[in-house]
Structure 1
Amino acid sequence: MVGKKSGRAQLREEGLERTDNNLDLTTWPQVNMINQKNYYTEFLKREDQYLAFRAPLEEERARMVREARDKDRALAQGAPPEGAATQTEDGAMDEGSVNFASRDDPSRLIVLHVGSQNLRIGLGSDALPKTLPMVIARRWKASEAEENGGEPSPKRMKVEGAVPADAVPEKWFGEDFADQYAAMSSELRTRMRSNKRRVLPNSKELVSNYNRRTPPDIISEHNDMDRIDWTELPTDPRKAPDFFTGAAALRIAEKSNPRYKLFWPIRNGNLNEKDYANRNQIYHDISKIFDEAFRNQLGITRSRDLANYKCVFIIPDLYERVYVTMMLDILIRDLGVGKVSLQQESLSATFGAGYSIACVVDIGAQNTSICCVDEGLCIEDSRVNLKFGGCDVTETFIKMMLYDHFPYSDMNLKRRYDFVLAEELKQKFCSMDEGSVTVQQQEFYLRASGQDTRKYQFKTYDEPMLSVMGFFKPSIFDHLWKLENRRKVIPRSVDLYDGSPNDPMSQAQIAVIEMAAGKSMSVNGAQDPTNNVHATPQRTQQFNLLGRLNENENTPRSSIAGSPGPEGTNTPNPERDTAMGDGEQPPLIFRDPVLEKIKAADERDRTLPVVSLDQAILESLAQGARGDDRKLRDFFGGIMLIGGGSKTPGLAAFLETRLREQRPYYGKEILVGPPPREFDPQVVSWKGGSVFGRLSPAGNDSWISKAEYDVLGSRLLNNKCMFFW
């Protein structure tokens, strides 16, 4: 009997045994199974794994290697290295022989501060920036003064039965303006009497009668010592340039051949959606203005040279993402600037003034921004942006003067020379000093292209002060056109994943919008001074919607709907049954948070943030202090007025008095003043950007290079901005 064979022997005899020939079954790499109990990965755990952090380190390393090679090459040639300092006979080091090639050259630094009316640009080596109008004039079928049937600005109402029409300027601007103007005049007289100042009862009549009967004096051009050099155009219209920028655009004759129209890409601190039809036009106009400024103001005539320059671009505190990304795209991709860094206005102002803690109030041409800065950081919830500024004061001043029979009754702010004249009159005559409220005789010269110079004499009384008083009574300003075409040309920025609005918003701005909408009165009014220390005022339930929907708020809140009864039973709910009537649908318990955020953003866009300047400052201070009384006192003692509107004489003292009247418990701490060292308030933010740009690049990670931007685009801003993006 044959013995039984094992299974292995049978496989070997039959050729079925598995043998290992050391050949892989596939050429694909084999990944071992992960030990589920204990495994670790370093993916995106270190900063050097991010391109935004790795690229600057690699660039710094390459620079150090390059400098070391240059030093070795100089030593090999027998010459002292450029970076070595020589020693003089007395043993001191000669500073003139120190090479600064390893440091950034300030002459290769561009600082840009864009405003609604002016552009301030300069190099890091400049003491002061160049200022030019942020405007471009393009060839058009009609000038801006000829559009809409030649309707002037400020707009006059037609008065029936008036012969001639100039005889009733008191009715040009409507009853609402006349009533507010009369109320402000009466309030000013009462205030002056309480301050023991002399008030003449017939001052208004004296001003009106003098202005009505004073004709202008004609001065021939050859006798005018300060005549204006207008922008010359070629005789052949076909050879005329397509555009002009800056001051040259404002000096084009109104009846030029061909016609030119002025375009202002920035209005009220935002991209101008009122005068533009699409986004590309705004993009190209801003790019042309920047390019001409680089060529004419900085002397950078070749575009390829901009790759060797760095640029500090100053953005608003409460910015819009579309605005920032568009400016960044223009500078890096369109113009070719090598590196760009973004800096907020208020933080730049503290850099320029040398303050570590301050409440910065920037009164610009068309918007006013307020922000509390503490230790090199803008407090997010304290940011406020009001949509009025110096241009509103100019328009209101002209309206008040026309109301009082201004001798130049044909003034039209849509005309270029009238616009420049109105700005000049505001800067010369407007003041907040009560001592200047007297009947005064003034004069000005009207210079227009192709016309003889006219010298006008007129009298003023309280118009120079009441027009600036609009900062504290903004209802006197004209706000009708400021929301025109809002979000029609440029949509708001939304989140990439859920589509919700992601533009930054602050608690102080939400409170200002609520006050402007008339929905609620802030506790910061003047009811209980002890409550003013707390940062978040208690508001009614009607307004907690905006605060609850704010994306920065992390504390969840319970639903206002009643609790439902137990499932599957008919147990009544007294709270819900009381709230509902017969036949009404029960309130929805589950809501779409994205839809609610969109509705809240739409409501904010429909409301113009315009409140009194002192109320906005108090709201910003309250949100910035966050209940810390010591910090609140520090902010009260460091209120800094900057911007062109802050140069009005007496404005700081008047604002300080208003704040002390509303906060008597902090009367000793409240201090409102201009920047230190007699610095020009208009250029403080620009100077701070220059200081920031000259800091050591080794400890500054905010620079965005062109190579990084080409790879990641605007996603870089999450890692590059020194503020929360």
Structure 2
Amino acid sequence: MPPPPAPKKPLFPVTPDPVTDHPIQPPTIIVIQPGSVNLRVGRASDAFPITVPHCIARKCPNVENSLPDDHMLLRPECSHPEAGQQIRAGLASIEELLQSRPTLAGSHRQLTLPRQLMAFNSQVPSEKTESQDCPNWTDVDKKPPYVVGEEAMYIRPSEHYRLSWPMRRGQLNVHQGPGGTLSSVLADIEAIWGCVLQDHMEIPLKDLKHYRAVLLIPDVYVHKHIKALVNLLLNTFGFGAAIVHQESVCATYGSGITVACVVDVGDQKTSISCVEDGISHKGSRITMEYGGSDVSRLFHSLLARCGVALPEVNLTCPGDVVQLQALKETCCHLDQDQSEISQHALEIHKPDKFVMKYNVKLGDEPILAPMALFRPMAFGLLGQHLIHVQGRNEGDADDPHDEDYLRQTQRQSWAGRLAGSKKDESEMSRETSEQNLSQLDDLTNGPLDEDSNDVPDVMSTSENAKSNRRVEDEEDEDMDDESDLHLMGVDEAIIHCIEKCDSEELRRKLYSCILVVGGGLQFEGAMTWLQYQVWQSMPAQMRLQLETMDIITKPKDMDSSLTSWKGGAILACLDSTQELWVWQKEWKQFSVRMLRERAPFIW
């Protein structure tokens, strides 16, 4: 008898997984969520992650030619000549919106004019009081080469350290200026993450081989950036294994929801994604470059408009920016019924152990600033680069059989099938053409063009080209052109993304469950405003089908800024996700190909 056939060899050899022999150990799993402002890191067994500012200050070797800091609030997109006019038009649109919606009492809001407050606020003196609740200047007498986290934000300007943020607008901060190369950004991330792991979590870097990492990535991601971060975790830090997953999907795990339109309003970007059963629909993802920091900047300008100058707040100083953001969180709201002029005590905590206090009067300023999230024109931002949708994989030398290769082979197969189906028709057409030309030659006694038989082949080539274009069109039908999009408010973006989903039943479920995460939209009354705006703008036939519309801003009474991180911790401990781990040995052998094989989303 012939021997039995040998078993088929898998494409990627499976690394022995100790999880199959030992139970899952959450204390050995590190969940990492790198944000534009805050880095959240913790064990999967922790109730809360460690949150540190995601920044680093490096000592300038040449004091005379030192580079400026990477500012938190100031943006070049706001420096165009039309910015002032655009901001005024946006504020006028917000005021019109506020007046159009009645209050709970049935009346309409009466707006307050800035000049009503200018006379009072301009005469308010500052009160200086001693306080122990103030940040301290960082001691750099030992001249360390770099300082990370909160300490990096409170270095005296005279010490000549340059502050930089390795992530901006949800992506790696790769730019054309000094320190903007991918290798420089990764070096900053390595220094920050290494300090957090050693100093805050007390894990020696040499012991990371006994740990595994869960990396949360943005919904709209850049493939080469994700590859670089996974390489940093597995090759540079030496983690034993890693899982990569999207923030929106992890948010559904953290809130215990299976189907939701996830709205992530962060400090610098706003992302919308429709998630169903652990899958983020690719065509429904959109990221816009505005968030909580833009609300803070607008609030600062509105304060100045009504006479509150706040000379102690310098928008180029990171410590003052933190103070301004604290004022925004204390004063701002989205409560339609708060329409009277009110007294506010604004406190500025300085590192010199004193507090500057201003007792001022504010009218509509606390609601106008966060309302700009629904009318982003008021931010004064301009540029098509502010909107992003998920792009295709640009290809990688380490993955020869990537998406581009599959697309090209599919196109060739399509063209081949079309050419085969046209073969018989072409032969019949050729015979008919030859007979007609022969008869014409007999009548005119003229020579027959030798290339006449090539006419059907040219037609076939044209059909093949059309088929190629047809394949490209089918590939692009679910992909938005960023140039056709405009900067949308949160409510408009929600409707845009939900309507990208094909199934009417799915759209109904998404409209009925909108999950808000991140810290940028956590204002009093935000849930009511968002529900009102989406309900007014959604398709009329969908309003007839909905029984309820739930806007979830604090799932399980949890801080919404921690929802995605908590979901990553839950994901890592599920038995069904243990096959998603990319092991260090596999990564060294197959590199980015492992993400195409193991990532729980279409790579």
TM-score (norm 1): 0.66
Secondary structure, in 3 states, of the residue corresponding to 2:574? Answer: coil
**1:490-521 Cα distance to aligned partner (Å, 9 max, x none):** x9952358x99x899xxxxxxxxxxxxxxxxx
Contact 1:349 1:688 in 2 (8 A): yes
Pairing 1:495–2:412 present: no
Secondary structure, in 3 states, of the residue corresponding to 1:127? Answer: coil
1:606 positional shift: 6.4
1:470 positional shift: 1.6
Contiguous gaps of at least 5 residues in structure 1: 1-39, 65-101, 159-170, 505-548, 559-565, 570-586
For 1:432 and 1:703, locate their aligned partners in 2 and report how far apart those are by CA, in whole Å: 43
2:513 is aligned with what amino acid?
G
Match of 1:374 among 276, 281, 285: 276
Secondary structure, in 3 states, of the residue corresponding to 2:243? Answer: strand
Pairing 1:674–2:594 present: no
Alignment of 1:238-249 (within 5 A): 239-249=142-152
Contact 2:40 2:52 in 1 (8 A): yes
User: Equivalent residue for 2:140?
Assistant: 233
Classify 1:323/1:644 alpha carbon distance in 2 versus 1 (closer, same or farther; 3 Å). Answer: same
1:601 positional shift: 14
1:306 positional shift: 0.3
Classify 1:199/1:606 alpha carbon distance in 2 versus 1 (closer, same or farther; 3 Å). Answer: closer
Secondary structure, in 3 states, of the residue corresponding to 2:206? Answer: helix
Contact 1:137 1:243 in 2 (8 A): yes
User: Equivalent residue for 2:512?
Assistant: 637
Secondary structure, in 3 states, of the residue corresponding to 1:446? Answer: strand
Alignment of 1:43-54 (within 5 A): 46=8, 49-52=10-13, 54=14
User: Equivalent residue for 1:662?
Assistant: 537
**1:215-263 Cα distance to aligned partner (Å, 9 max, x none):** 21223xxx323222221121xxxx411111111111222x232x11211
For 1:142 and 1:136, locate their aligned partners in 2 and report how far apart those are by CA, in whole Å: 18
1:261 is aligned with what amino acid?
R
Deviating more after overlay: 665-674 vs 453-462? 665-674
For 2:480 and 2:279, locate their aligned partners in 1 and report how far apart those are by CA, in whole Å: 29
User: Equivalent residue for 1:441?
Assistant: 343
**1:586-627 Cα distance to aligned partner (Å, 9 max, x none):** x99948869x89999999576776212222211222223x13
1:668 is aligned with what amino acid?
E
**1:151-185 Cα distance to aligned partner (Å, 9 max, x none):** 99489999xxxxxxxxxxxx996333234324433
Match of 1:695 among 554, 560, 574: 574
For 2:216 and 2:569, locate their aligned partners in 1 and report how far apart those are by CA, in whole Å: 10
User: Equivalent residue for 1:351?
Assistant: 253
2:11 is aligned with what amino acid?
Y
Contact 2:273 2:286 in 1 (8 A): yes
Pairs aligned (count): 545
Q: Percent identity among equivalent residues?
A: 24
For 1:379 and 1:155, locate their aligned partners in 2 and report how far apart those are by CA, in whole Å: 32
Deviating more after overlay: 448-457 vs 189-198? 189-198
Pairing 1:622–2:499 present: yes
User: Equivalent residue for 1:709?
Assistant: 587
1:480 positional shift: 4.5
Classify 1:198/1:471 alpha carbon distance in 2 versus 1 (closer, same or farther; 3 Å). Answer: closer
Pairing 1:265–2:161 present: no
User: Equivalent residue for 2:440?
Assistant: none
Q: Larger helix proportion, structure 1 or 2?
A: 2
User: Equivalent residue for 1:214?
Assistant: 124
User: Equivalent residue for 1:122?
Assistant: 42
User: Equivalent residue for 2:199?
Assistant: 296
Pairing 1:420–2:304 present: no
Contact 2:516 2:552 in 1 (8 A): yes
Pairing 1:386–2:288 present: yes
For 1:607 and 1:241, locate their aligned partners in 2 and report how far apart those are by CA, in whole Å: 48
For 2:569 and 2:479, locate their aligned partners in 1 and report how far apart those are by CA, in whole Å: 37
For 1:198 and 1:389, locate their aligned partners in 2 and report how far apart those are by CA, in whole Å: 28
Classify 1:352/1:503 alpha carbon distance in 2 versus 1 (closer, same or farther; 3 Å). Answer: farther
Alignment of 1:274-313 (within 5 A): 274=175, 276-300=179-203, 302-313=204-215
Secondary structure, in 3 states, of the residue corresponding to 2:580? Answer: coil
User: Equivalent residue for 1:610?
Assistant: 487
**1:680-724 Cα distance to aligned partner (Å, 9 max, x none):** 111111111111111237x62111111111111111111111111
**1:616-666 Cα distance to aligned partner (Å, 9 max, x none):** 211222223x133x3322222221111111312111111111111123542
User: Equivalent residue for 1:204?
Assistant: 114
User: Equivalent residue for 1:136?
Assistant: 56
1:662 is aligned with what amino acid?
S
Contact 1:215 1:407 in 2 (8 A): no
Classify 1:187/1:41 alpha carbon distance in 2 versus 1 (closer, same or farther; 3 Å). Answer: farther
Secondary structure, in 3 states, of the residue corresponding to 2:193? Answer: helix
For 1:143 and 1:638, locate their aligned partners in 2 and report how far apart those are by CA, in whole Å: 56
Contact 1:385 1:609 in 2 (8 A): no
Pairing 1:325–2:245 present: no
Classify 1:371/1:42 alpha carbon distance in 2 versus 1 (closer, same or farther; 3 Å). Answer: farther
Classify 1:117/1:145 alpha carbon distance in 2 versus 1 (closer, same or farther; 3 Å). Answer: farther
User: Equivalent residue for 1:342?
Assistant: 244
1:409 positional shift: 4.7
Contact 2:252 2:258 in 1 (8 A): yes
Contact 2:112 2:364 in 1 (8 A): no
Secondary structure, in 3 states, of the residue corresponding to 2:591? Answer: helix
For 1:696 and 1:157, locate their aligned partners in 2 and report how far apart those are by CA, in whole Å: 48
2:168 is aligned with what amino acid?
R
User: Equivalent residue for 1:536?
Assistant: none
1:407 positional shift: 2.7
Classify 1:503/1:423 alpha carbon distance in 2 versus 1 (closer, same or farther; 3 Å). Answer: farther
For 1:464 and 1:435, locate their aligned partners in 2 and report how far apart those are by CA, in whole Å: 12
Secondary structure, in 3 states, of the residue corresponding to 1:369? Answer: strand
> Considering only aligned residues, what root-mean-square deviation do their CA atoms show, in Å?
4.4
For 2:335 and 2:37, locate their aligned partners in 1 and report how far apart those are by CA, in whole Å: 26
Q: Larger strand proportion, structure 1 or 2?
A: 2
1:669 positional shift: 2.9
For 1:346 and 1:355, locate their aligned partners in 2 and report how far apart those are by CA, in whole Å: 11
1:386 positional shift: 2.2
User: Equivalent residue for 1:578?
Assistant: none
For 1:492 and 1:637, locate their aligned partners in 2 and report how far apart those are by CA, in whole Å: 31
For 1:709 and 1:385, locate their aligned partners in 2 and report how far apart those are by CA, in whole Å: 29
Instruction: Return the structure number with greater relative CO, CA threshold 8 A, min gap 6.
Output: 2
For 1:555 and 1:206, locate their aligned partners in 2 and report how far apart those are by CA, in whole Å: 70
Deviating more after overlay: 442-451 vs 274-283? 442-451
For 1:144 and 1:475, locate their aligned partners in 2 and report how far apart those are by CA, in whole Å: 37
Classify 1:470/1:202 alpha carbon distance in 2 versus 1 (closer, same or farther; 3 Å). Answer: closer
Classify 1:714/1:442 alpha carbon distance in 2 versus 1 (closer, same or farther; 3 Å). Answer: same
Contiguous gaps of at least 5 residues in structure 2: 419-429, 437-461
Classify 1:435/1:385 alpha carbon distance in 2 versus 1 (closer, same or farther; 3 Å). Answer: same
1:279 is aligned with what amino acid?
L
1:381 positional shift: 2.4
For 1:151 and 1:611, locate their aligned partners in 2 and report how far apart those are by CA, in whole Å: 22
Match of 1:177 among 49, 71, 87: 87
User: Equivalent residue for 1:543?
Assistant: none
Secondary structure, in 3 states, of the residue corresponding to 1:610? Answer: coil
1:494 is aligned with what amino acid?
E
Secondary structure, in 3 states, of the residue corresponding to 2:337? Answer: helix
Secondary structure, in 3 states, of the residue corresponding to 1:457? Answer: strand
**1:47-66 Cα distance to aligned partner (Å, 9 max, x none):** x52335x21xx3449x74xx
For 1:602 and 1:634, locate their aligned partners in 2 and report how far apart those are by CA, in whole Å: 23
